Structure 1
Amino acid sequence: MSEIKKSEILTESGTNELEIIEFHLHKVLPNGGHKVCHYGINVAKVREVIRVPETSDYPNAQPHMVGVFSLREKLIPLVDLAGWLGISTPEDLTHKVVIVTDFNKMINGFLIDSVRSIHRVSWEQVESPSQFLEAGENDCVVAVVRRDGMLIMILDFEKIIADINPELSMDKYDVTLDRSVLINDKMLAKREAKTILVVDDSAFIRKMIENTLRSAGYNIITAKDGGDALEMLMEFESLAEQDNASISDFVSAVITDVEMPRMDGMHLVKRLRESKAYQHMPIVMFSSLMSEDNRIKAIALGANDTITKPEIGRMVGMIDKYVFEE
C-alpha cells in the first residue's frame, strides 16, 4: 500500500515534536456490534503499511504469531496485535492491513484493522498514562494523545516484541556474567558512590536498565519522561546552589530515551546543555530509534554517546567510561 519515506519524517533536533500513525482495531462487542479502538505508533518506527500477505506457519511459534511472510527478501514474523492485547476483532482478513515496523534492529509485522492518518503533535501534548491509571511494568501503553475527542493509546511495541520473542529480549542480559564488565569489590565501591538518572517512559525498559546498573553497583533514580526528569534535575541544581555543593553530589550521569511524553530526550538534552550546571554532565541516549542520523543529531545537541536498545550490554562499560573519566 504505502512505504513510509523516512526523509519526510519530522526529525528536527530538539523541537520536541513527533509524527504518529493512528491505527484502529475494531472490537467485537457481546451484542455483535463493533467499537473502534484508537492506537498509535511513532512514524519513525514504521517501515511501511501493506495488505495482509500470504503467511507460512512457523513451528512451535509463540501465541498470537500468525506466521511468517517474505517482504523484499526478508523473512518477517506477523503478529496478531488484537490477540496479544486480548481484543476480539472480526476474523475476515479482507479489509485488514499490516504495519511493518523497523526498530531495535528488528523488522516485524503487526496485523491491524485499519490505518486512519498521520498526526504531527508536540510531545507536550502527549500525556503519560499515569494521568489515567497507575502504570506498572506490565503496562503496554506508554503515552496517550487526545485527538478529535478521542484518546489515542501509544503502545509499547518494545515490550510487545519482547513478550512474543523472549529470547531476543534485553532482560536476558545479565551483567554479572559479562566478562567484559569488571565487577569486584573495588569497582562496586566506586560505582556505589555514583547515582545515575534513568529516563524512559516504559516502566518495562526502566526496570531493565535499573537492574543492569544496580547489579554493577550504581545507585539509580528514575524519571518517567523528559519533563519529569527536567523538574528533578532543576531541583538538584537549586539544592546544589543552596548547599554550595556540586551537582555531581546529586547525580553523576543521565541515561535518556528519545521518545517520551511531555518532553522527548532530544529536547531534554538541549535544555540541560543550556544550563551551566549540566554543561559537562555525562549524558547517554538509549533508544530503539538510534539511527546514524539520530546519533549525529544527539551528539550535536550535546549527548556524550548513544546506544541502540538491543545493545544494553554496552551500557555499564559506557557509563564507567564517562563517569570515571579523568
Structure 2
Amino acid sequence: METGILLESGTNELEILEFKVGNNHYGINVAKIKEILPYQVPTPIPNSHPCIEGIFMPRDEIISIINLEKCLNLNSTGDTASDMYIVTNFNKLNTAFHVHGVTGIQRVSWADIAKPDATINAEDAGVATGIIRLQDKLIVILDFEKIVSDISPETGLKTSDIEKMGTRERNNSPILIAEDSALLSKLISDCLFKAGYNNLITTSNGAEAWEKLCGYRDAGIIDKEVSCIITDIEMPQMDGHRLTKLVKDDPDLQHIPVVIFSSLVNEEMRKKGESLGANAQLSKPEIGQLVEAIDKLIIKKNEQ
C-alpha cells in the first residue's frame, strides 16, 4: 500500500487502517501493511498454535494466517461474508491477520493517541499500544509485534546474539532509550547491560525523551548525560521520526547519534529515516547488530 504520508518526514502523524473484529474497532499503522485481500478458506496446519488459522498462498509465498478473533478472546460471528486478510510486513516477516471487515483509513497525530494505563495493559499480557477517539467510537491500536512473538517467540529480539558476544568491558557512556512497550524496553535494557553498557536511561515515548534532552541541553550537560539515542518509530504522543527530526534540527543536539530500532525498518521507512538524519536504522529482531552500531557510533562521537 502506498500513501502520501509515508513520504513526509517528522510530521508526528500516521495513517491508521481501521478494521473490525466482532463489533469492536481496531487500528494498525498503514506502514505495516503490505496488502489487503478478500477472505479465502485457509489450509489448516496440524498441531499449529491455536491462533494460527492456517496458511494461504496469494502469489509465490506461503503466508501464515493469524485469527485475531481468537487472539483477542472474542466470540465468533460465524459469518465470513465481509471478512478480509490484512497482510503485514514487519520484523522482516510477512503475516496475514484475519479480520471481520475494513472500515477505512484515518490520518491522525501521535499526540492524539493515548497510551493505555497499567489497568488495561499489563506489561506481559496487554496487546494495546494506543487508544484514539474518533467521532463517537474508540479505536484500539493493537501491538501486532507482541501478538506474533507470543505465537512464535523466535520472531522477537534475538537475545541469543548477545550471549554469543561473551564477556565485554563495562562502558559508562549514557544511552537514552525511547520505547513505549514496557516489555521491550526492559528486554533492550537487559541486552545492552549484558553487552557492557551500564548507564541506560529509559523513556516511554518520544515526547518524554525530548523533554529529557531539552532539560540536559538547557542545563549545559547534554554530553555528560547522553552519548547515544535509541528510538522506536511507533510511539504515542511523539513518534521516533519526529524525535529524530527535532534532535537533528537542534544545533546543540545534532551531534548526538540517533539509532532507529524498530519493526518498521523497511526500504520506504529507511529512506525516511535517512532524510531525517538518523545515524543507523535496524530492525527490532537484530539486537546484536544494535550493539555493534552503538559501539561504532559512540567510539566515533568520542573521537570528535
Q: TM-score range by the shorter chain?
A: over 0.9
Is 1:103 aligned with 2:90?
A: yes
CA shift for structure 1 position 131? 8.9
Distance 1:233 1:158, change over 3 A: same
Cα pair 1:25 1:38 within 8 Å, conserved: yes
Q: Which residue of 2 aligns with 1:174?
A: 160
Q: Which residue of 2 aligns with 1:258?
A: 233
Q: Which consecutive residues of structure 2, in runs of 5 or more, have no partner in the other structure? A: none
CA shift for structure 1 position 300? 2.4
CA shift for structure 1 position 7? 5.0
What's the TM-score, normalizing by structure 1?
0.86
Cα pair 1:226 1:260 within 8 Å, conserved: yes
What code does the residue aligned with 1:74 have? E
Is 1:23 aligned with 2:19?
A: yes
Cα pair 1:196 1:251 within 8 Å, conserved: yes
Distance 1:182 1:226, change over 3 A: same
CA shift for structure 1 position 279? 1.4
Of the three residues 267, 270, 274, the one matched with 1:292 is 267
Q: CA RMSD in A?
A: 1.9
156-165 vs 124-133, which deviates more? 124-133
CA shift for structure 1 position 47? 1.5
Q: How many residues align?
A: 300
Cα pair 2:18 2:26 within 8 Å, conserved: yes
Deviations 1:137-178 (A, max 9, x none): 4321111111012111111101111011123222x4234422
270-279 vs 302-311, which deviates more? 270-279
Cα pair 2:44 2:53 within 8 Å, conserved: yes
Of the three residues 252, 256, 261, the one matched with 1:277 is 252
What code does the residue aligned with 1:200 have? E
What code does the residue aligned with 1:11 have? L
Is 1:136 aligned with 2:123?
A: yes
Cα pair 2:161 2:288 within 8 Å, conserved: yes
State the alpha-carbon separation in 2 of the partners of residues 286 and 234 from structure 1: 22
Bigger radius of gyration: 1
1:9-88 to 2 correspondence within 5 Å? 9-26=5-22, 36-88=23-75
CA shift for structure 1 position 286? 1.0
Cα pair 1:258 1:265 within 8 Å, conserved: yes
1:200-215 to 2 correspondence within 5 Å? 200-215=179-194
Q: Which residue of 1 aligns with 2:216?
A: 236
What's the TM-score, normalizing by structure 2?
0.92
CA shift for structure 1 position 68? 0.8
CA shift for structure 1 position 288? 1.7
CA shift for structure 1 position 132? 7.3
CA shift for structure 1 position 314? 0.2
Cα pair 1:156 1:202 within 8 Å, conserved: no
Cα pair 1:40 1:155 within 8 Å, conserved: yes
Identity %: 40
What code does the residue aligned with 2:152 have? N
State the alpha-carbon separation in 1 of the partners of residues 117 and 88 from structure 2: 26
State the alpha-carbon separation in 2 of the partners of residues 214 and 110 from structure 1: 35
